Copies of this chain bind each other. A is one copy, B any other.
Amino acid sequence: MTDKKKNKLEVEIYNKTYTIIGDETEQHVKLVASLVDQKMNEIHHHNKHLDSSKLAVLTAVNTMNDYLKLKEDYAKFLGSINRKEEK
């Protein structure tokens, strides 16, 4: 195991400040935060009545949906590669 130093970084998402602690680079954490902020603003634009808590949950739902779709695509692609190699 490597002796990795944890990074601690403050980011702003949807007008609130969050402290993110982890092994990721500052650049990566900032990218993640800006994508979440962007998605929250997009969802707010289409659902102006939602409180910030429900808005954040729907942002998580939306991101989880993207994650699962990408995972399925990846799995299908791996499947097709394996079938090719078997031929």
Contact A60 B67 (CB under 8 A): no
Contact B59 A28 (CB under 8 A): no
Interface string of A23-37 (1 = CB under 8 A from B): 010001001110110
Q: What chain B residues lie within 8 Å of A67 (beta carbons)?
A: 63, 66-67, 70
Q: CA–CA, A49 to B52, complex, Å? A: 17
- Chain B: which residue is nearest A51 at the CB level? B53
Contact A65 B13 (CB under 8 A): no
Contact B70 A32 (CB under 8 A): no
Chain A contacts to B: CB under 8 angstroms: 13-14, 16, 18, 20, 24, 28, 31-33, 35-36, 39-40, 51-54, 56-61, 63-68, 70-71, 73-74, 77, 81
